[in-house]
Amino acid sequence: MHTVELDGAQRDLCETARTAIQEMVRVGTTEKGFARSHIVVLDALLKLRQVCCAPPTRQDQPARPSQGIGQTGATARYV
C-alpha cells in the first residue's frame, strides 16, 4: 500500500465524492438491505475509482484519458 498526499483542490474533490458516495450506499442498503444492494455498492466502487484515477480536469486543460494497466507512455494513445 502506498500513501499519497493530495493537494487542497484534489483532496476536497475526493472528500466530497467520498461523502456523497457513502451516503448513496447508506440509502441504498437501508432501502433494499445489504444482500440486495450489490449494484449500489459496485456503482459506488466504480465512482470512487473514477475520481481517483481520472479526476475532472481544470477548465483550461484538455481532458486526457488516464493510462490503464499495461499501457506505457509509448503505447498510450489520446483520441
Cβ neighbours of 40 (radius 10 Å): 19
Separation of alpha carbons 16 and 60, rounded Å: 22
**Which three cell numbers, joined as nine digits, stand for 21?**
458516495
Per residue of the chain (79 residues), give pLDDT as tens. 888 788 888 888 888 999 999 999 999 999 999 889 999 999 999 998 888 777 665 444 444 544 444 444 444 443 3
Answer yes or no: are the C-beta atoms of 44 and 24 closer than 8 Å. yes
Answer yes or no: are the C-beta atoms of 44 and 21 closer than 8 Å. yes
Answer yes or no: are the C-beta atoms of 14 and 52 closer than 8 Å. yes
**Which three cell numbers, joined as nine digits, stand for 37?**
444492494
- Domain limits of the chain? 8-53
